[in-house]
Chains A and B, each alone.
Chain A
Amino acid sequence: MSRSTPIDRVLVAIIGRALKAITDEMSVAMEKTTRSPILCEAKDFVTGLYDAEGRMLEQTENLPILSFSLGPVCRHIAEQFRGQVYPGDVFFHNDVFSFGNQNNDVAAFMPIFVGDTLVAWAACKGHQADIGGAVRGGYNPNATEVWQEALRIPAVKVHERGELRRDVWDLIFANVRLPIVEEDMRAEIGSCAVGERRLRALVEKYGLERFTAHKAALFESTRRMMESEIRSIPNGTYSGEATVYFDGRTPGSRYRIRVAITVEDERVVFDYSETDPQTDGFVNGTYTSSASATILTFLQMVDARIPHNQGIIEPIEIIIPEGTILNAAYPAATTFGNHLCPPNADAIIRALAPVIPDRVTAGWNNLLCSLSTGHDPRRRDTYVDILFMGLKGGSGATSDCDGYDHIGMIDASGGLLDQDYEMFEQQTPHLLERHEFLTDSAGAGRFRGGLGVETRYRVGGEKTQLVVFGDGDAEPAFGLFGGQDGTLNSIALHLPDGTVRKTASKEIVAAVPAGTGYVQQAGGGGGFGPPHERPAETVRREVADELISIDAAGSAYGVVIDSESGQVLEAETAARRAAMAAAASRRATED
Chain B
Amino acid sequence: MPDRFKIGIDVGGTFTDLFLHSSSNEVATFKVLSTPDNPSIGVLHGLERIAQSLELEVGALAARVDTIVHGTTVTTNATLTRSGARVGLLTTHGVRDALEMRRGVREEQYDNRYRNVIPIVPRRLRLPVRGRLDYRGVEIEALDLDGVRRACGSLRTAEVEAVAICFMNAFANAAHEDAAAAIVRTELPDAYVSVSSEVLPSIRFYNRLSTTVLNAYVGPVLLAYLTSLQRRLADAGFGGVLLIMQSSGGVGHPAAILERPATTLLSGPAAGPNAALSVTEPLSQRSTVVVDMGGTSFDASLVRDGAVALKAEGDLDRLRIALPMLEITTIGAGGGSIGRLDAGGLLRMGPQSAGAVPGPACYDRGGERPTCTDADLTLGYLDPTFFAGGQITLRPDLARTAIATHVATPMGLDVEAAAAGMYRVINANMAHGVREITIKRGLDPREFPMVVAGGAGALHACMIAQELDIPTIMVPSPASVLCAVGMLMSDLQHDYVRSYVTALSDLEPDRLQAVVGDLTALGDAELAREGVPEARRQHGVLLDLRYAKQYHEVTVPVAPAAIANGDLEAIGSAFHREHNRLYGYDLEAEGTGLTLITVRVRSVGRTDKPRYPKLRSGGNASDSLKGHRRAYVPETERFDEVPVYDGHALRAAHEIAGPALIERVDTTLFVSAAFTTRVDDHGTLVLEPAGRGSSP
Which of A14, A28, A222, A401 is in CB contact (< 8 Å) with B112?
A401
Which of B95, B342, B347 is in CB contact (< 8 Å) with A421?
B95
Does B445 have its Cβ within 8 Å of any Cβ on chain A? no
Asked whether A413 lies within 8 Å of B347 as measured between CB atoms, the reply is no
The proximity string for A residues 383-399 relative to B, scoring 1 for CB distances below 8 Å and 0 otherwise, is: 00000110010011010
Cβ of B428: which chain A residues have Cβ within 8 Å of it?
A: 14, 17-18
Which of B95, B110, B169, B439 is in CB contact (< 8 Å) with A435?
B95
Asked whether A413 lies within 8 Å of B110 as measured between CB atoms, the reply is yes
Asked whether A398 lies within 8 Å of B94 as measured between CB atoms, the reply is no
Q: B208 — nearest CB in chain A belongs to which residue?
A: A422
Q: Do A418 and B425 contact each other (CB < 8 Å), given the known contacts A64-B109, A545-B122, A545-B124? A: no
Does B421 have its Cβ within 8 Å of any Cβ on chain A? yes
Could you say which interface size class chain B belongs to? 35 or more
Q: B420 — nearest CB in chain A belongs to which residue?
A: A10
Does A109 have its Cβ within 8 Å of any Cβ on chain B? no
Q: B111 — nearest CB in chain A belongs to which residue?
A: A304
Cβ of A224: which chain B residues have Cβ within 8 Å of it?
A: 343-345
In the assembled complex, the Cα of A40 lies from the Cα of B554 at a distance in Å of 14
Does B639 have its Cβ within 8 Å of any Cβ on chain A? no
Cβ of B425: which chain A residues have Cβ within 8 Å of it?
A: 10, 13-14
In the assembled complex, the Cα of A17 lies from the Cα of B101 at a distance in Å of 31
A422 to chain B, nearest CB (A): 5
In the assembled complex, the Cα of A65 lies from the Cα of B209 at a distance in Å of 32
Does A416 have its Cβ within 8 Å of any Cβ on chain B? yes
Q: B170 — nearest CB in chain A belongs to which residue?
A: A422
Does B281 have its Cβ within 8 Å of any Cβ on chain A? no
The proximity string for B residues 81-121 relative to A, scoring 1 for CB distances below 8 Å and 0 otherwise, is: 00000000000001111101101111111111111100000
Does B171 have its Cβ within 8 Å of any Cβ on chain A? yes
Cβ of A395: which chain B residues have Cβ within 8 Å of it?
A: 112
The proximity string for B residues 38-80 relative to A, scoring 1 for CB distances below 8 Å and 0 otherwise, is: 0000000000000000000000000000000000000000000
Q: CB within 8 Å of A: which of B581-613?
A: 582-585
Does A306 have its Cβ within 8 Å of any Cβ on chain B? yes
Q: Do A14 and B95 contact each other (CB < 8 Å), given the known contacts A225-B344, A398-B113? A: no
Asked whether A425 lies within 8 Å of B94 as measured between CB atoms, the reply is no
Asked whether B97 lies within 8 Å of A303 as measured between CB atoms, the reply is no
Q: B439 — nearest CB in chain A belongs to which residue?
A: A25
Cβ of A218: which chain B residues have Cβ within 8 Å of it?
A: 346
Cβ of A412: which chain B residues have Cβ within 8 Å of it?
A: 109
Q: CB within 8 Å of B: which of A327-382?
A: 361, 379
Asked whether B435 lies within 8 Å of A21 as measured between CB atoms, the reply is yes
Cβ of B286: which chain A residues have Cβ within 8 Å of it?
A: none
Does B429 have its Cβ within 8 Å of any Cβ on chain A? yes
Asked whether A35 lies within 8 Å of B346 as measured between CB atoms, the reply is no
In the assembled complex, the Cα of A41 lies from the Cα of B546 at a distance in Å of 14
Does A404 have its Cβ within 8 Å of any Cβ on chain B? yes
Q: Do A35 and B345 contact each other (CB < 8 Å), given the known contacts A10-B421, A413-B110, A422-B168? A: no
Does B503 have its Cβ within 8 Å of any Cβ on chain A? yes
Asked whether B105 lies within 8 Å of A413 as measured between CB atoms, the reply is no
In the assembled complex, the Cα of A457 lies from the Cα of B346 at a distance in Å of 52
Q: Which of A158-166, A259-267, A426-434, A495-503 faces chain B?
A: A426-434
Asked whether B109 lies within 8 Å of A61 as measured between CB atoms, the reply is yes
Q: B503 — nearest CB in chain A belongs to which residue?
A: A379
Asked whether A40 lies within 8 Å of B551 as measured between CB atoms, the reply is yes
Asked whether A406 lies within 8 Å of B104 as measured between CB atoms, the reply is yes
Asked whether B110 lies within 8 Å of A304 as measured between CB atoms, the reply is yes
Asked whether B135 lies within 8 Å of A426 as measured between CB atoms, the reply is yes
Asked whether B94 lies within 8 Å of A433 as measured between CB atoms, the reply is yes
Which of B124, B344, B413, B585 is in CB contact (< 8 Å) with A306?
B344
B434 to chain A, nearest CB (A): 11
Q: A383 — nearest CB in chain B belongs to which residue?
A: B549
In the assembled complex, the Cα of A544 lies from the Cα of B157 at a distance in Å of 14
Q: CB within 8 Å of A: which of B319-364?
A: 342-348
Which of A186, A222, A418 is in CB contact (< 8 Å) with B101?
A418
Does B440 have its Cβ within 8 Å of any Cβ on chain A? yes
Asked whether B501 lies within 8 Å of A426 as measured between CB atoms, the reply is yes
The proximity string for B residues 193-214 relative to A, scoring 1 for CB distances below 8 Å and 0 otherwise, is: 0000000000111110000000
Which of A10, A17, A228 is in CB contact (< 8 Å) with B343?
A228
Does A463 have its Cβ within 8 Å of any Cβ on chain B? no
Q: A364 — nearest CB in chain B belongs to which residue?
A: B112
Could you say which interface size class chain A belongs to? 35 or more
Asked whether A405 lies within 8 Å of B203 as measured between CB atoms, the reply is no
In the assembled complex, the Cα of A398 lies from the Cα of B115 at a distance in Å of 12
Q: Do A9 and B110 contact each other (CB < 8 Å), given the known contacts A421-B168, A545-B122? A: no
Which of A10, A29, A64, A415 is in CB contact (< 8 Å) with B424?
A10
Cβ of A406: which chain B residues have Cβ within 8 Å of it?
A: 97, 101, 104
The proximity string for A residues 276-300 relative to B, scoring 1 for CB distances below 8 Å and 0 otherwise, is: 0000000000000000000010011
Q: CB within 8 Å of B: which of A117-172?
A: none
Does B664 have its Cβ within 8 Å of any Cβ on chain A? no
Asked whether A415 lies within 8 Å of B109 as measured between CB atoms, the reply is yes
Does B304 have its Cβ within 8 Å of any Cβ on chain A? no
Does A467 have its Cβ within 8 Å of any Cβ on chain B? no
Cβ of B682: which chain A residues have Cβ within 8 Å of it?
A: none
Which of B171, B348, B420 is in CB contact (< 8 Å) with A422?
B171
Asked whether A423 lies within 8 Å of B204 as measured between CB atoms, the reply is yes
Asked whether A436 lies within 8 Å of B97 as measured between CB atoms, the reply is yes
B461 to chain A, nearest CB (A): 18
Does A547 have its Cβ within 8 Å of any Cβ on chain B? yes
Q: Do A456 and B94 contact each other (CB < 8 Å), given the known contacts A40-B552, A300-B110, A425-B134? A: yes
Asked whether B344 lies within 8 Å of A221 as measured between CB atoms, the reply is yes
Asked whether B104 lies within 8 Å of A13 as measured between CB atoms, the reply is no
In the assembled complex, the Cα of A12 lies from the Cα of B411 at a distance in Å of 13
Cβ of A423: which chain B residues have Cβ within 8 Å of it?
A: 203-204, 551
Q: B113 — nearest CB in chain A belongs to which residue?
A: A401
Does A400 have its Cβ within 8 Å of any Cβ on chain B? yes
Does A305 have its Cβ within 8 Å of any Cβ on chain B? yes
Cβ of B549: which chain A residues have Cβ within 8 Å of it?
A: 35, 180
Asked whether A414 lies within 8 Å of B435 as measured between CB atoms, the reply is no
Cβ of B122: which chain A residues have Cβ within 8 Å of it?
A: 545
In the assembled complex, the Cα of A437 lies from the Cα of B347 at a distance in Å of 43
Does B123 have its Cβ within 8 Å of any Cβ on chain A? yes
Q: B171 — nearest CB in chain A belongs to which residue?
A: A422
Which of A33, A306, A431, A453 is in CB contact (< 8 Å) with B583?
A33
Which of B111, B346, B413 is in CB contact (< 8 Å) with A16?
B346
In the assembled complex, the Cα of A545 lies from the Cα of B98 at a distance in Å of 14
Q: CB within 8 Å of A: which of B523-572?
A: 547, 549-552
Asked whether B123 lies within 8 Å of A545 as measured between CB atoms, the reply is yes
Asked whether B344 lies within 8 Å of A434 as measured between CB atoms, the reply is no
In the assembled complex, the Cα of A433 lies from the Cα of B349 at a distance in Å of 49
In the assembled complex, the Cα of A28 lies from the Cα of B440 at a distance in Å of 7
Does A570 have its Cβ within 8 Å of any Cβ on chain B? no
In the assembled complex, the Cα of A416 lies from the Cα of B421 at a distance in Å of 39
In the assembled complex, the Cα of A361 lies from the Cα of B122 at a distance in Å of 26
Q: B203 — nearest CB in chain A belongs to which residue?
A: A422
Q: B123 — nearest CB in chain A belongs to which residue?
A: A545
Asked whether B109 lies within 8 Å of A422 as measured between CB atoms, the reply is no
Scoring B104, B424, B552 by chain A CB atoms within 10 A of each residue's CB, the highest score goes to B104
In the assembled complex, the Cα of A84 lies from the Cα of B174 at a distance in Å of 64
In the assembled complex, the Cα of A453 lies from the Cα of B134 at a distance in Å of 23
Asked whether A420 lies within 8 Å of B109 as measured between CB atoms, the reply is no
Asked whether B123 lies within 8 Å of A417 as measured between CB atoms, the reply is no
A1 to chain B, nearest CB (A): 22
A565 to chain B, nearest CB (A): 13
Show 13 A/B contacts (Cβ-Cβ < 8 Å), sorted by A. Answer: A12-B346, A18-B428, A35-B550, A225-B342, A392-B104, A404-B114, A405-B100, A413-B110, A414-B106, A417-B103, A421-B205, A422-B205, A545-B122
Which 9 pairs across A and B sit closest by C-beta, in order of nearness? A414-B106, A221-B344, A545-B123, A10-B421, A434-B94, A413-B109, A225-B344, A304-B111, A425-B135
Known: A9-B345, A13-B347, A400-B113. 20 other contacts (CB 8 A): A9-B413, A18-B428, A32-B582, A392-B104, A396-B112, A398-B112, A401-B113, A407-B106, A413-B110, A415-B105, A421-B168, A421-B206, A422-B203, A426-B135, A431-B134, A431-B140, A432-B95, A433-B94, A435-B94, A437-B101
